[in-house]
Amino acid sequence: MRAVLQRVSEASCRVDDKTTGEIKTGFLVLLGIEEADTDDDLNWLANKIAAMRVFSDENGLMNKALADVDGNILLISQFTLFAQTKKGNRPSFIRAAKPDKAIPLYKQMIIALQNLTGKKIATGIFGADMKISLVNDGPVTIIMDTKIRE
């Protein structure tokens, strides 16, 4: 799994001119799922997201986690995080999980994050043409890959 985690002061997702999810302070998480992903990958990533300390403390240092700032999460599925661009100019998405594998893992991630944060997770719609708006706070953008845990 890959995640692009962005610290935001606000973020929202619209599908067909309807808002499917929106948050104020928190994380916009773009989540890519590949065929090789397992429950172990999901659990590791969910715990990392929930515990990531990138919010400013009283000294302006990034020491606070999502719970410390009463933050929320907007979780968006994004298979393009597994784009392979080595050959040619048209990306290949062969490593991205097919919907029959990706959808259950995406739903599991929603549940895992809800359990870890104690909050409802805002979402987009899997596979839809989504319009994402955000105000990246900082900017702070962190890329995590469950196959690179160092």
Q: Tell me: the pLDDT tens digits for 27-65?
A: 999 999 999 999 999 999 999 999 999 999 999 999 999
* Surface-to-core class of residue 140, CB atoms within 10 Å of its CB (0-12 exposed, 13-18 middle, 19+ buried): middle
Residues annotated catalytic, as ranges: 80
The phi, psi pair for 108, rounded to 5°, reads -65, -40
pTM of the model: 0.94
Among 12-21, 28-37, 91-100, 118-127, which stretch is predicted with the lowest mean pLDDT? 91-100
Structural domains of the chain ordered from first start: 2-145 (3.50.80.10)
SS3 125: coil
